[in-house]
Chain A
Amino acid sequence: METLRQLLVSREISELSRVTHLLDEPEQLAAAVGDVLPTAVARATHAQLGEALAPAVERAVQRSIQKSPRTLTDILYPVFLPAIRKSIGEKIDQTFQSLNETLRHIFTWHGLKWRFEAWRTGASFSEVVLKHSLIYRVEHAFLINRNSGLLIAHVAADNATSEDPQLISSMLSAIQDFVKDSFNEREQSGLDTIRFGDLRLWSEVGPFATLVSVIRGNPPEELHEIVRDVLLRIHEECSQALVEFDGDSSQLAGVEAQLRTCVEQKQEESNEGFPWLVAAVALLFLILAGGWFFLSWQSGQRWQAYVSRWQAYVSRLEAQPGIIVAEQQARDGQFYIAGLRDPLAADPQSLLSGTQVDPARVHSQWQFYQSLQPEFVLKRLKASLAPPDSVRLSIDNERIVAEGEAPDTWIDRARAAARQLSAGGPEFDISKVRDVSPEVLEAKRWQAYVSRLEAQPGIIVAQQKIRDGRFYIAGLRDPLADDPQSLLSGTQVDPARVHSQWQFYQSLEPEFVLKRLTASLYPPDTVRLSIVNNRIIAEGEAPDTWIDRARAAARQLSAGGPEFDISKVRDVSPEARAAEHWQYYVSRLEAQPGIVVAQQSTRGGHFYISGLRDPLAADPQALLSGTEVDPARVHSQWQFYQSLDPKFVVKRLTASLTPPKSVRLSIIQGRIVVVGEAPAAWIDRAQAAAEQLSADGVVLDVSQLRELDLAELNHLRESIQTTDIFFSSGKVVPGPEQTPVLDRLADQIKEFAQNARKSGVTARFMLTGHSDTTGRETANASISAARAETVRALLNKRGVAPELLLVRGAGTFEPAVPENSQAGSSTNRRVSVTVNLD
């Protein structure tokens, strides 16, 4: 059995005993486990192994530190040193920043405000300074994969804009690499800060991701810590996803919330924290104190103003006539005044108004008195005498003067008042007041009327009187004198009470004589009658017959009348008249355009005249008619010349250019303007004329001429020119079949000629005869000419004017078609028509 066992399992037994021995021997077991331990650890699940080892490792580290901290310090030294260095650097930065800001604000108004705030909140002054002076805002936060530079997440503050964040994050990491490579920087941390003006980029580097914050403004150093905390939290929460990040950011959606806390960091310029309550209390105190000061100052001012106004009032009173200020004073806000016043003087109370002195504070004491100043005496006189409207009282050199008209009763009262005026008062002078009782007035008015009548020429007042309120007047009047009745108006004399008795007579006063002469002699318009020094003088021209009548009238004038002097009237005899007529004719010629009078004279009853005249000007002979100059006594000598007066130029142009009807020549401001339509040839001629005229200084404007539209004519011309009259061989008279062709041709030629004439051109028609080549050349030539002549005669017979038709024979030289057939010859035996315009 044992042997069998030995045979079957002896290898296993020895193996088993070796293992048992191995397990029992700690030394050997340790060696064996030591062999496999690294592999086992490598193969174990990381999590479980980590958990299993953690307590042992912790204890081991603990023990190691207890035993000798030096070892672990040495180990960790390369790790901590950069971190500590960075931390200390930041702290120093922070201190400097704080120091800088503190120094900057220590003495400013803000400084005082912030000191108060520091006292109120218990914070240090530098903290408060930093809090207020560091205005910043985190605008963007980028979380960037450290390996690939790909953007994991991006958060922007409100209103902050940037280009594509994906591109920015990659570029940022590229720049990090660039800096690192360029300067052989091996350190794990990346680029700390990039600063561009107001903008800063802070990057905080973590194991797997970099957090870049873009900050506008002046951030405090503590912001680094906040950003670092955020990055740390992201690494804690999402470490697995960060490690495995392969560009798909959906796994890391949660980190945006963390980034948001970064972006929310800002310190903005605001008044938050301002001690409103304290400010309000201080303000209220200031207002109250200011108000009290103001009021007391104002009341002082106001009293000063009152006193000066009071003084103004007093001096106003003193200047017032009839008021005498005896004493006045201002005391305790009240004003006292005492004195004398005339009852007629201005009321001191009413004078207060407008002075801004409070009437309630004024205490007045006035005694009445009668002022002897002329103004007051005048006022009293006016009140006691009640003068009528026609009397005016005034002060003249301290005297009171009454002027005007008054009834005698008032004058008596005024005289009494003048006597009663006290000794020291002004004098009252009533000597200039006229006594006006109604009767006196009426008598005066009547006298005025009578003297008005007496002054009137042709009226002689013989007698006049007033009795029982009625007026009687008698005398002589010339019928040509003014009516005494009408003279009453405006005199205020009642016509009903006037009784007149007038005898007519002929006044010898020159005016009346003149009137009568004018009525009886009827002087012609050329005679003027006037009165000079009581003599009547006639001046001017008159025929001898009138002069004779005037002379008779002068003799008839009565002895006592004025003299009538007709010596200044010239006798207008026929000779003188003829000379006058001649002068009129000469001036008429001189006014005539195109006529220049060089010389003229009158000699022995004959008239001589010489000068220049344009052939187109009016005929001097014809102008004689109607001038009453006897043509037989006129001797004229005229040289022809060409006037450059535009009117004549137009006439000449019309004659030489024969403008078509469609053209109009007119003179506009001295220039000759040609308007309308004309054939090109005519326009050319007009232009040539314009050039010639410009040498003489005459402007001929042809710019408004348009070329005549000859389209219709052209059409007709075409039709005429394509018409041929055909002949039989050897014949010079066309066959009867050509009659309708000739009829139509004649009509067309007539129509064309007429239309052309309307347009101002002359049309001519060339009839060319042709022959075929049969026969001798000379015979053919004469046949062709004969054919043209025949057609001309036939057309003439049909009413075409012969001078429009020209004739020639072309023989065989101008065949219509090459002559190689029978049809060709018959086509060439013809008369063709060409139209020419000129």
Chain B
Amino acid sequence: MLQKKICMLGGFSVGKTSLVRRFVKSIFSETYLTTVGVKIDKKSVALPDKTVDLILWDLAGEDDIGSFRVSHVRGATGLVLVVDGTRAATLTAALTLRERVEAEFGAMPFVLLFNKSDLADRWVIPDREIDELRQRGWQVYLTSALSGEHVDDAFLKLASMVTK
């Protein structure tokens, strides 16, 4: 049994919960997010040589970065940063969250998801900016919780990254 703790980080209402709702195994209701501030889900990812269980800690989305409970990230081996493609501010929030985590626990592998790719007409993140992030060597995915587009790809990539 190989498991990895993964934290999902992102601003308020970027769709983290929707991302996991359809693609992972979950036994806890979403009220945990508002009460305990975290909801745990599991995503089993089959890699060519093994299966790894990603234990996803879905941390309550917060725009106020100051109240972010960084202690939840302790012991994590990877991050899923989620950005709402229709709100530019959420990119800044995700990057800030990542910086805080790295400052506390050191660098760790991550994937960056631009969510809500199905809302093309309200999309505000320029392609140029995304390309720039990709050129830094970051794993960037345009995902849609609605269609499921690229969600599995992102988890697969992250799984291979954290088991290297």
Q: Which among A168, A177, A249 is the interface contact of B1 at CB below 8 angstroms?
A: A249
**Residues of A contacting B4 with CB < 8 Å?**
150, 247
Considering only residues 117-162 of chain A, those with a C-beta below 8 Å from chain B are 145, 147-151
CA distance A250 to B3 in the complex (A): 11
A705 to B: closest C-beta gap in Å: 65
Q: Are A147 and B42 in contact (CB under 8 A)?
A: no
How many positions in chain B have a CB within 8 Å of any CB in the partner chain?
A: 27
Set B1, B2, B55, B77: member contacting A170, Cβ < 8 A: B55
- Among residues of B, the one whose C-beta sits closest to the C-beta of A145 is B75
Query: Nearest Cβ distance between residue B159 and chain A, in whole angstroms?
Result: 11
Which of B66-74, B92-100, B114-122 touches A?
B66-74
Chain B contacts of A164 at CB under 8 A? 25, 27, 42
CA distance A13 to B86 in the complex (A): 79
**A174 contacts the other chain (Cβ, under 8 Å)?**
yes
Main secondary structure of the interface of A (DSSP, over half): helix
Interface residues of A in 772-810 (CB under 8 A from B): none
Segment of B11-19, B33-41, B131-139 engaged in the interface with chain A: B33-41
- Does A171 make an interface contact (CB < 8 A)? yes
Is residue A58 within 8 Å, beta carbon to beta carbon, of the partner chain? no
Interface string of A310-354 (1 = CB under 8 A from B): 000000000000000000000000000000000000000000000
Q: Given A148-B74, A163-B27, A170-B55, A247–B40 Cβ distance below 8 Å?
A: no
Report the Cα distance A10→B159, complex, angstroms: 66
User: B150 contacts the other chain (Cβ, under 8 Å)?
Assistant: no
Residue of A163, A167, A248 near B55 (CB, 8 A) is: A167
Report whether A166 and B69 are in contact in the complex, using a CB–CB cutoff of 8 Å. no
Please give the distance in Å from A128's CB to the nearest CB on chain B.
Answer: 42
B110 contacts the other chain (Cβ, under 8 Å)? no
Question: In chain B between 6 and 26, which residues have their CB closer than 8 angstroms to a CB of chain A?
Answer: 25-26
B57 at the interface (CB under 8 A from A): yes
B28 close to A249 (CB less than 8 A): no
Could you list 7 examples of A-B contacts with CB < 8 Å? A150-B55, A167-B27, A167-B28, A167-B40, A174-B57, A247-B5, A249-B3
Given known A-B contacts A148-B76, A178-B38, A181-B71, A170 and B27 have beta carbons under 8 A apart? no
Using a CB–CB distance below 8 Å, which chain B residues touch chain A? 1-5, 25-28, 32, 36-38, 40-42, 52-53, 55, 57, 69, 71-72, 74-77
Instruction: For residue B100, give the distance in angstroms from its CB to the closest CB of chain A.
Output: 15
Given B36, B55, B57, which contacts A175 in the complex, CB threshold below 8 Å? B36
Question: Is A709 at the interface (CB under 8 A from chain B)?
Answer: no
Expressed in whole angstroms, the minimum distance between the Cβ of A203 and any Cβ of chain B is 16
With A and B bound together, what is the CA distance between A680 and B36 in angstroms? 82
With A and B bound together, what is the CA distance between A181 and B52 in angstroms?
30
Give the chain A neighbours of B38 by CB distance below 8 A: 174, 178
- How far is A246 from B28 in the complex, measured between Cα atoms in Å? 24
A147, A163, A174, A175: residue with the most chain B Cβ atoms closer than 10 Å: A174
Chain B: CB-nearest residue to A151:
B3
Q: Assess the A171–B40 pair: CB atoms within 8 A.
A: yes
Residue of B nearest to A173 (CB): B75
CB of B77 within 8 A of CB of A178, answer no
Which B residues are in CB contact (< 8 Å) with A148? 5, 74-77
How many Å lie between the Cα of A167 and that of B39 in the bound state?
9
Chain B residues closer than 8 Å to A247, beta-carbon distance: 2-5, 52, 77
